[in-house]
Amino acid sequence: MNAIFSPGKLMLTSEYFAIDGALVLAVPTKLGQEFFFEEKDDNQSLIFWEALHQNKPWLKAVIDYKNWQILETNIPLSAEFILKTLKNVQQLSTIKFKKDFTYHLKTNLQFPADFGLGSSSTLMNNLAEWAEIDPFYLNTISLGGSGYDIAVAKEKSAVLFQSKPEIKFEKVDFNPSFKNELIFIHLNQKQDSREGINLYKSKNKFPELINEFSDITKKILLCNELDNFSELMMIHERKISDFIEIPTVKERLFSDCPSFVKSLGAWGGDFVMSAKFGGYKDYFWEKGFTTVFEWSNIIDL
């Protein structure tokens, strides 16, 4: 079978303000999602879909794409989402699901689902690359969101991303001299991004804040010293906290931590970033957070 790969992502700056056009810095992760495909001209009009999670079987479905019906599945709700997404692929593509072929399509999500590294965005980008369609548009009609995660998956690189007034992004060389001092800690739960976005949307926006986060992003991209980087991260965290009226993750969980602690993406779950300090592994382990990655273990740059 032929294969396509899209990396996962970590969002370093702007969080919720990405929706309103704040400049985002995001980086790719070593783990992502694989997509395997095989097509046969046999007059069947069937899709055999198989989804693996860390190489273990998860979802199976047989779909009749002439009538868009699920013929067989072990998880009906998830199969409905796949059907909807593949139907969108058909509408956008000039080459896929147009003839009476049989498609054998298989995915493998390489990271735990609660890591929040982009199970949906990597799927959207893989399908778009396979079908030769716009991944941003496929994502918009299938899921929604700012699209920064699609940009990372598409470019397989660190990116600067902006959603408004129109989507624009560029590859960037984010390779800070202090990268080996940075660590990423998983908070043992997956945060519901939609819930966080709804909270953000309920607040009155201040245009100057969007510009402030964009300015912080630009400064972070140019940082050469860990102390300066740490200070910018703390300023960023405080501005978000004040706006959404939620305590920072450091205030809630790591008040005695001698380093900065920065939320990455939706607040309340997934990963946070910090910097090494004496006994940092024991510190986080004793608080119940045993999944701690160094930069070289998780970031693909």
Q: Do 26 and 154 form a contact (C-beta atoms < 8 A)?
A: no
How far apart (Å, rounded) are the C-alpha atoms in residues 161 and 262?
19
How far apart (Å, rounded) are the C-alpha atoms in residues 211 and 37?
43
Domain spanning 2-171, CATH class? alpha beta
Q: What is the pLDDT of residues 187-238, one digit of tens each?
A: 998 666 666 666 667 666 777 999 999 999 999 999 999 999 999 999 999 9
How far apart (Å, rounded) are the C-alpha atoms in residues 290 and 279?
13
Q: What is the pLDDT of residues 248-272, one digit of tens each?
A: 999 999 999 999 999 998 786 689 9
Confidence of residue 295 (pLDDT cuts 50, 70, 90): very high
Q: What is the pLDDT of residues 69-119, one digit of tens each?
A: 999 999 999 999 999 999 999 999 999 999 999 999 999 999 998 899 999
Please report the pLDDT score of residue 266 as a whole number.
Answer: 79
Q: Which residues of 206-226 are buried (b: 16+ CB within 10 A; e: fewer)?
A: eeebbebbbebbebbbebeeb
Q: At residue 163, does pLDDT exceed 80?
A: yes
Q: Select from 163, 164, 37 the least CA-distant residue to 104.
A: 37
Q: At residue 13, does pLDDT exceed 90?
A: yes
> What average pLDDT does range 121-143 have in this prediction?
97
Please report the pLDDT score of residue 244 as a whole number.
Answer: 87
Does domain 179-298 sit in CATH 3.90.1330.10? no
Percent of the chain with pLDDT over 90: 86
Per-domain boundaries in the chain: 2-171, 179-298
Please report the pLDDT score of residue 114 as a whole number.
Answer: 87
Please report the pLDDT score of residue 66 as a whole number.
Answer: 96
